[in-house]
Amino acid sequence: MSDQESNLVDPFGRAVTYLRVSVTDRCDFRCTYCMAEDMTFLPRKDLLTLEEIDRLSSAFVARGVRKIRLTGGEPLVRRNIMSLIESLSRHLDNGLDELTLTTNGSQLHRFADQLAEHGVKRINVSLDTLDAAKFGLLTRWGDFHQVMRGIDLAARAGLKIKINAVALRDVNEDEIEDLLRWTHGRGFDLTLIETMPLGEIGTDRTDQYLPLSLVRARLSQHFTLEDIPDRTGGPARYVRVRETGGRLGFITPMTHNFCESCNRVRVTCTGTLYMCLGQEDAADLRHPMRTSESDDPLHAAIDEAISRKPKGHDFVIDRDAAPSLSRFMSSTGG
Ligand code: SAM
Ligand code: SF4
């Protein structure tokens, strides 16, 4: 491929440098805001094989992607996931700056050391509460103590940890300060996330929605939040908390103000490329991979898709409306 082709730039001049890959739609938890308890998963034959995920990810690296995040479902429950991570790590320092993942932490006690050995430097762990009983209710199937053990082992393995917590009205809104003190006390970053209207979960999302503007105003009564210019090309905005010295992020996907710097695309575990988390438009990358040994049709499909990357999203949370998007966060990986 020539140098000229080696960048993916969309019609709005945004270079795509960040790929998020959902490696499975399955999960060992059933978080109430993410899935219904009787969630139906995809037939296994529809999933990309690990080799196909490697091929697809490598095609993006060849085109200028510098960061890959594996997600899901729960990425660490995909069988042989470490072989994919080991294989993708060949791109580190060779086009790829960062290989990372977002996990619920349930399998970290098994994999923390191997992740570090394969060049993973940082991970995001989703944890919405420090209360074991509440954790059980929120995740339905999760074991709080196992996750805490996994986090300890990941920290001991030298992985930098960012805790992601979804802010939920009446559920953890009284705990945000504790989460802040706990994460920063351990040297972890904390990022708070607003709920997004993805997938039919069997309950009314307006009951869970807690605007982060309110959370921020409450935190400001006890902490000094200093804006810092750190940007990831996504919907996160960061502050330094003067009293703890730690970094706190706010992910407010319902606002539009981050779209102009968007640098990312997402691939589902079936090889569907979503150019925007908040839009239905997508491109199938599995077919061009399965029908040709050459990567040319795959690159052509990627180019065609990037030429359609939309300017922004159309999220709304409305009591009477169906979810803005029918697909689940667990299929695009968040
Ligand atoms: N299972 C892994 C985990 O929980 O970290 C990775 C996949 S999960 C879908 C990725 C992130 O999306 C998690 O931090 C989760 O809390 C968040 N999430 C799931 N559903 C959401 C929703 N409807 N709105 C906002 N965040 C959501
Ligand atoms: Fe599983 Fe993550 Fe969704 Fe929870 S948020 S059900 S851990 S995919």
Q: What is the DSSP string of 23-48?
A: --S--S---TTT--TTPPPPPGGGSP
Residue 229: both structure tokens together? 């210019």
| CA atoms of 221 and 219, how far apart (whole Å) | 5
Report pLDDT for 198: 62
Q: How confident is the model at residue 230 (pLDDT cuts 50, 70, 90)?
A: confident
Cα(140) to centroid(ligand 1), Å: 14
Q: In which band, very low, low, confident or very high, does the pLDDT at 332 lie, cut at 50, 70 and 90?
A: low
Closest-lying ligand 2 atom to the alpha carbon of residue 34: 3
Q: What is the pLDDT of residues 71-121, one digit of tens each?
A: 999 999 999 999 999 999 999 989 999 999 999 999 999 999 999 999 999
Give the residue, by CA position, lying nearest to ligand 1 atom 2.
103
Ligand at shortest distance from the CA of 27 = 2
329 ligand 1 Cβ < 6 A: yes
Q: Compute and round to an integer the Cα radius of gyration of the chain.
A: 19
Helix (H) or strand (E) holding 124: strand 122-126
Could you tell which of 34, 104, 183, 203 is best to mutate to test the pocket of ligand 1, judged by most ligand atoms within 8 Å of the CB? 34
User: For residue 56, which of 329, 282, 285 has the smallest C-alpha distance?
Assistant: 285
pLDDT bucket at 4, cuts 50 / 70 / 90? very low
CA distances from 210 to 73, 173, 260 (A): 24, 8, 25
CATH number of the domain located at residue range(s) 3-332 in this protein: 3.20.20.70
The average confidence (pLDDT) of the chain is 90
Q: Which atom of ligand 2 is nearest to the CA of 328?
A: 3
- The answer to whether the CB of 247 falls within 8 A of the CB of 293 is no
pLDDT at 3: 39
Confidence of residue 233 (pLDDT cuts 50, 70, 90): confident
Q: What percent of the chain has pLDDT over 70?
A: 88
C-beta 198 within 6 A of ligand 1: yes
- How much distance in Å is there from the Cα of 104 to the middle of ligand 2? 7
35-58 pLDDT, tens digit per residue, is 999 999 999 999 999 999 999 999
Pick the residue whose CA is nearest to atom 17 on ligand 1: 334
SS3 114: helix
pTM of the model as a whole: 0.93
pLDDT one-digit tens code per residue, 151-185: 999 999 999 999 999 999 999 999 999 999 999 99
Q: Does residue 328's CB lie within 6 angstroms of at least one atom of ligand 1?
A: no
Alpha-carbon gap, residue 179 to 163, rounded angstroms = 9
What pLDDT, in 10s, does the model give residues 250-306? 998 776 567 888 899 999 999 999 998 778 889 999 999 999 999 999 999 999 999
Of 102, 108, 191, 255, the residue with max ligand 1 atoms within 8 A of its CB, to mutate for a pocket test, comes to 102
Q: Is 291 exposed, middle or buried (0-12, 13-18, 19+ CB in 10 A)?
A: exposed
d(CA 120, CA 101): 8
Q: Which of 20, 24, 26, 29 maximizes ligand 2 atoms within 8 Å of its Cβ, making it the mutation to test the pocket?
A: 29
28 alpha carbon to ligand 2 midpoint, in Å?
A: 8
Question: Which residues have any ligand 2 atom within 6 Å of their CB?
Answer: 27, 29-31, 34-35, 72-74, 104, 126, 330
* Ligand 1 site-directed mutation target among 20, 126, 147, 195, most atoms within 8 Å of CB: 126
Which residues, other chains included, contact 301 with Cβ-Cβ below 8 Å and sequence gap of 6+?
273, 283, 284, 285, 287, 288
SS3 call for 212: helix
pLDDT of residue 139: 97
Which-ligand-closest: CA of 139?
2
Kindly indicate the confidence band of residue 193, based on its pLDDT and cuts at 50, 70 and 90: very high
> What residue owns the CA closest to ligand 2's atom 8?
73
Residue 262, phi-psi category: left (phi > 0), alpha (psi -120 to 50), beta (remainder): beta
Query: Residue 141 pLDDT more than 70?
Result: yes
Ligand 1: atom nearest CA of 74 is: 1
Q: What are phi and psi of 201, to 5 degrees?
A: -110, 5
Phi and psi based region of residue 187 (left: phi greater than 0; alpha: psi -120 to 50; beta: remaining): left
DSSP 88: H
Amino acid making up residue 112 = A
Output the CA angle 30-31-34, nearest 5 degrees.
100
